[in-house]
Amino acid sequence: NYGCSPLALAEDALKRAITLTSLIVKFMSFNVRSMRENLEDGSPMTAVAAERMASRGVPFRKAHTLIGEIAQRLSLDSSVAERRSELASHLTGVLPESLEECRDALQFGGGPGQRSTDDQLSVAKKMYGEMQLKCAEIRERWAHAEIHRKQRVNELIDDHQAT
């Protein structure tokens, strides 16, 4: 293996990724005002609407395509209230009725929310621990295989020299 084990490289890359993610989470901040403004403009509501359409039987891609087409037709020159009203007229029954409903619908285990980020990091740490155990098992099997290989090579050399 020339001193460059793919397993060791993968394990090292995983350690660096966990460290980097931990640093990002540790030093990140949330601009609540900006997040609220983005929520108010209705764009996140379209994602929720598409997911709701998909959960009601509309094929996933079709739901997102339809929502995208509606969103593209909205004028960015109109006010937030006008855009949301326009969305509501096209997406009755699937568009969240309030910012709070939209926010709650977006708390699905992903995204940039603090709780969501903490949960994702916790899962990543657990998976990292499991991966460390798997890597240790693989290293042990490789060590045994290496010993067996060396023994077999020596046996073959001895057999060859005996003939």
- Please indicate whether residue 155 or residue 41 has the higher confidence score (pLDDT): 155
Number of Cβ within a 10 Å radius of residue 113: 17
pLDDT tens digits, residue range 115-161?
777 787 788 889 888 988 988 888 899 889 989 999 999 999 999 99
Kindly list the domain boundaries of the chain, sorted by start residue.
6-162
Q: Which of 27, 10, 25 is nearest to 121 (CA)?
A: 25
The Cα 144–Cα 95 span in angstroms is 60
Sign of CA dihedral 37, 51, 104, 110: negative
The Cα 54–Cα 47 span in angstroms is 11
Q: Which of 101, 120, 99 is nearest to 110 (CA)?
A: 120
| Whole-prediction pTM | 0.47
